[in-house]
Amino acid sequence: MHLLQRKPYFTGKAGFTLIEILLVVVIISSLAAMVIPRLTGRSEQAKEAIAKADVQVNIATALKLYELDNGRYPTTEQGLRSLIQKPGAAPAPQNWNGPYVEKRSILDPWGREYIYKYPGSHGVDYDLFSLGKTGSDDETNINNWDS
Protein backbone atom coordinates (compact mmCIF):
# COMPACT_ATOMS: atom_id res chain seq x y z
CA MET A 1 0.00 0.00 0.00
CA HIS A 2 1.33 3.39 -0.92
CA LEU A 3 1.88 6.01 1.83
CA LEU A 4 -0.51 8.49 0.29
CA GLN A 5 -3.32 5.95 0.15
CA ARG A 6 -3.79 5.31 3.87
CA LYS A 7 -7.11 4.28 5.26
CA PRO A 8 -8.76 6.81 7.58
CA TYR A 9 -8.68 6.01 11.30
CA PHE A 10 -12.44 6.42 11.61
CA THR A 11 -14.36 4.35 9.18
CA GLY A 12 -17.83 5.26 10.51
CA LYS A 13 -19.39 8.59 11.29
CA ALA A 14 -17.41 10.59 13.83
CA GLY A 15 -19.01 13.00 16.33
CA PHE A 16 -20.83 13.29 19.62
CA THR A 17 -24.39 12.28 20.27
CA LEU A 18 -26.89 14.66 21.84
CA ILE A 19 -26.83 12.60 25.05
CA GLU A 20 -23.04 12.95 25.37
CA ILE A 21 -23.19 16.72 24.85
CA LEU A 22 -25.99 17.09 27.42
CA LEU A 23 -24.02 14.99 29.92
CA VAL A 24 -20.98 17.27 29.57
CA VAL A 25 -23.15 20.39 29.99
CA VAL A 26 -24.72 18.92 33.16
CA ILE A 27 -21.28 18.09 34.63
CA ILE A 28 -19.88 21.57 33.90
CA SER A 29 -23.03 23.22 35.32
CA SER A 30 -22.77 21.13 38.50
CA LEU A 31 -19.13 22.11 38.99
CA ALA A 32 -19.93 25.79 38.42
CA ALA A 33 -22.82 25.59 40.90
CA MET A 34 -20.42 24.30 43.57
CA VAL A 35 -17.57 26.78 42.90
CA ILE A 36 -19.31 30.11 42.24
CA PRO A 37 -20.97 30.48 45.69
CA ARG A 38 -17.58 29.97 47.34
CA LEU A 39 -16.06 32.84 45.35
CA THR A 40 -18.78 35.44 45.87
CA GLY A 41 -17.88 37.99 48.52
CA ARG A 42 -14.17 37.26 48.31
CA SER A 43 -13.38 40.48 46.47
CA GLU A 44 -14.94 42.54 49.28
CA GLN A 45 -12.95 40.60 51.87
CA ALA A 46 -9.79 41.24 49.88
CA LYS A 47 -10.52 44.99 49.73
CA GLU A 48 -11.03 45.09 53.50
CA ALA A 49 -7.74 43.23 54.05
CA ILE A 50 -5.89 45.68 51.79
CA ALA A 51 -7.37 48.67 53.63
CA LYS A 52 -6.43 47.17 57.03
CA ALA A 53 -2.88 46.55 55.83
CA ASP A 54 -2.61 50.12 54.53
CA VAL A 55 -3.99 51.69 57.71
CA GLN A 56 -2.16 49.51 60.22
CA VAL A 57 1.13 48.85 58.41
CA ASN A 58 1.90 50.51 55.07
CA ILE A 59 0.79 54.11 55.65
CA ALA A 60 1.56 53.80 59.38
CA THR A 61 5.17 52.90 58.58
CA ALA A 62 5.47 55.78 56.12
CA LEU A 63 4.10 58.20 58.74
CA LYS A 64 6.60 56.91 61.32
CA LEU A 65 9.46 57.40 58.87
CA TYR A 66 8.23 60.94 58.17
CA GLU A 67 8.09 61.61 61.92
CA LEU A 68 11.60 60.20 62.45
CA ASP A 69 13.00 62.45 59.71
CA ASN A 70 11.14 65.61 60.68
CA GLY A 71 10.42 65.30 64.39
CA ARG A 72 6.65 65.46 63.94
CA TYR A 73 3.83 63.98 61.91
CA PRO A 74 2.32 65.95 59.02
CA THR A 75 -0.47 68.29 60.05
CA THR A 76 -4.06 67.57 59.09
CA GLU A 77 -3.80 70.32 56.46
CA GLN A 78 -0.62 68.83 54.98
CA GLY A 79 -2.29 65.44 55.00
CA LEU A 80 -1.07 62.18 53.54
CA ARG A 81 0.02 64.04 50.39
CA SER A 82 3.13 65.01 52.39
CA LEU A 83 4.22 61.37 52.19
CA ILE A 84 4.43 61.72 48.40
CA GLN A 85 5.79 65.24 47.94
CA LYS A 86 7.37 67.74 50.30
CA PRO A 87 4.68 69.98 51.76
CA GLY A 88 4.96 73.71 51.26
CA ALA A 89 2.52 74.63 54.04
CA ALA A 90 3.81 75.48 57.50
CA PRO A 91 5.37 73.89 59.39
CA ALA A 92 7.66 72.98 56.51
CA PRO A 93 9.62 69.78 57.18
CA GLN A 94 13.37 70.40 57.41
CA ASN A 95 14.59 66.86 56.70
CA TRP A 96 12.04 65.53 54.24
CA ASN A 97 13.54 62.40 52.62
CA GLY A 98 10.54 61.18 50.68
CA PRO A 99 8.63 60.03 48.96
CA TYR A 100 7.70 57.74 51.83
CA VAL A 101 5.18 55.74 49.81
CA GLU A 102 5.48 54.41 46.26
CA LYS A 103 1.96 55.33 45.18
CA ARG A 104 1.24 58.64 43.46
CA SER A 105 -1.98 58.99 45.41
CA ILE A 106 -3.12 57.36 48.59
CA LEU A 107 -6.52 55.86 47.87
CA ASP A 108 -8.36 53.08 49.63
CA PRO A 109 -9.50 50.01 47.66
CA TRP A 110 -12.87 51.68 47.01
CA GLY A 111 -11.19 54.64 45.27
CA ARG A 112 -11.58 57.20 48.07
CA GLU A 113 -8.79 58.98 49.91
CA TYR A 114 -7.85 57.74 53.36
CA ILE A 115 -8.82 60.24 56.06
CA TYR A 116 -5.94 61.53 58.18
CA LYS A 117 -6.12 63.81 61.24
CA TYR A 118 -3.25 64.99 63.40
CA PRO A 119 -3.30 65.10 66.33
CA GLY A 120 -5.46 62.05 66.86
CA SER A 121 -8.61 62.07 68.99
CA HIS A 122 -8.85 58.36 69.79
CA GLY A 123 -5.86 57.89 72.09
CA VAL A 124 -3.32 57.52 69.27
CA ASP A 125 -0.88 60.02 67.75
CA TYR A 126 -2.98 60.43 64.60
CA ASP A 127 -6.30 59.20 63.25
CA LEU A 128 -6.13 57.30 59.99
CA PHE A 129 -9.14 55.57 58.49
CA SER A 130 -11.05 54.50 55.42
CA LEU A 131 -14.80 54.94 55.09
CA GLY A 132 -14.94 51.35 53.84
CA LYS A 133 -17.44 49.88 51.44
CA THR A 134 -20.34 52.13 52.45
CA GLY A 135 -18.46 55.42 52.09
CA SER A 136 -20.10 56.78 55.24
CA ASP A 137 -18.76 57.31 58.73
CA ASP A 138 -20.14 54.22 60.49
CA GLU A 139 -19.07 50.92 62.04
CA THR A 140 -17.70 49.64 58.71
CA ASN A 141 -14.80 52.11 58.90
CA ILE A 142 -11.32 50.62 58.92
CA ASN A 143 -9.18 52.62 61.31
CA ASN A 144 -5.94 52.66 63.30
CA TRP A 145 -7.44 52.97 66.77
CA ASP A 146 -9.51 49.74 66.85
CA SER A 147 -6.81 47.11 66.47
Does residue 30 fall inside a structural domain? no
d(CA 135, CA 112): 8
Does residue 125 fall inside a structural domain? yes
Number of domains in the chain: 1
Q: Which domain holds residue 57?
A: 44-143
Find the helix or strand (DSSP H, E) in which 27 lies. helix 18-39
Does residue 135 fall inside a structural domain? yes
Find all residues with CB under 8 Å of 106, minimum gap 6, and list them: 54, 59, 80, 81, 83, 84, 113, 114
Does residue 99 fall inside a structural domain? yes
d(CA 69, CA 15): 73
Find all residues with CB under 8 Å of 92, minimum gap 6, and list them: 86
User: How does pLDDT run along the chain (147 residues), one tens digit per residue?
Assistant: 555 666 555 556 667 788 888 889 988 888 888 777 776 667 888 888 999 999 999 999 999 999 999 999 999 999 999 999 999 888 988 899 989 998 777 899 999 999 999 988 888 899 999 988 887 777 778 888 886
For 89-100, give one letter per residue: b (16+ CB within 10 A) or e. Answer: eeeebeebebeb
In the prediction, which pLDDT does 78 show?
Answer: 93
Does residue 35 fall inside a structural domain? no
In the prediction, which pLDDT does 118 show?
Answer: 93
Does residue 1 fall inside a structural domain? no
Does residue 70 fall inside a structural domain? yes
Does residue 71 fall inside a structural domain? yes
In the prediction, which pLDDT does 2 show?
Answer: 58
In the prediction, which pLDDT does 147 show?
Answer: 63
Q: Domain of 78: which CATH number?
A: 3.30.700.10
